[in-house]
Amino acid sequence: MKSGTLLVLGGARSGKSAYAEQVVEESELERLYLATARAGDAEMEARIAHHRARRGSAWRVLEEPEALESALAEHASAARAILVDCLTLWLSNLLFAKADLTGRTQLLCRTLRTLPGLAVLVSNEVGMGLVPDNRLGRDFRDTQGRLNQAVAATADRVVFVAAGLPLYLKGAP
């Protein structure tokens, strides 16, 4: 895949990021990793370090925890593949910033439709487990589900990764 939008869904530690990285590497385009995480504690710092070590030095990294839409618009080109990892952390950042989540989801989808090159977005599928026991958790789960649905509708291809294995939901493998 050399152009278009790919959404990669999966649970925690499902292999979705590794799959997304492989797609970008196989595109042979310039690689940009657009990171949405904030290293708020030692455990998150370790997760970020693990991802960096796995990718190696062939990737340019841009950290953008909130302004994802403008970062995509600014850095997209026909010669570049952008990997966004991940939409779940981006949504969390927006939630804590008290942003208009519906408006930002719509803006992200409008932006994705206009991008040249390849955009690969990673997102957690959080609605397949237990119902959260508090309102914030339920609201987040519901909002994440709506975000995933909107991006999936916009994307050219959608892949669900479970146990490291890709399941193609939309578009050809």
Residue 144 pLDDT exceeds 90: yes
121: closest CA among 2, 43, 1, 9? 9
Please state the separation of Cα 136 from the chain's center in Å.
22
pTM strictly above 0.85: yes
Every domain of the chain and the residues it spans: 4-170
pLDDT of residue 37: 85
Verify whether residue 51 is a known catalytic residue. yes
Residue-level length of the chain: 173
Q: Please report which confidence band the pLDDT of residue 68 belongs to, taking 50, 70 and 90 as the band edges.
A: very high
31, 51, 55, 104: the active-site residue = 51
- Bridge partners (DSSP) of residue 85 are 35, 122
Q: Please report which confidence band the pLDDT of residue 165 belongs to, taking 50, 70 and 90 as the band edges.
A: very high
- Range list of β-strands (E), the chain: 4-10, 30-35, 60-63, 80-85, 118-124, 157-162, 165-170
Q: pLDDT tens digits for 73-119?
A: 999 999 999 999 999 999 999 999 999 999 999 999 999 999 999 99
pLDDT of residue 173: 79
Q: Are 9 and 148 in contact (CB under 8 A)?
A: yes
Higher pLDDT, 53 or 10: 10
Measured distance CA(43)–CA(95) in Å, rounded: 21
pLDDT of residue 22: 96
How large is the greatest C-alpha to C-alpha distance in the chain, in angstroms? 46
Please tell me the CATH superfamily of domain 4-170, with its number.
P-loop containing nucleotide triphosphate hydrolases (3.40.50.300)
Residue 39 pLDDT exceeds 90: no
* Residue 116 tokens, joined: 């040249």
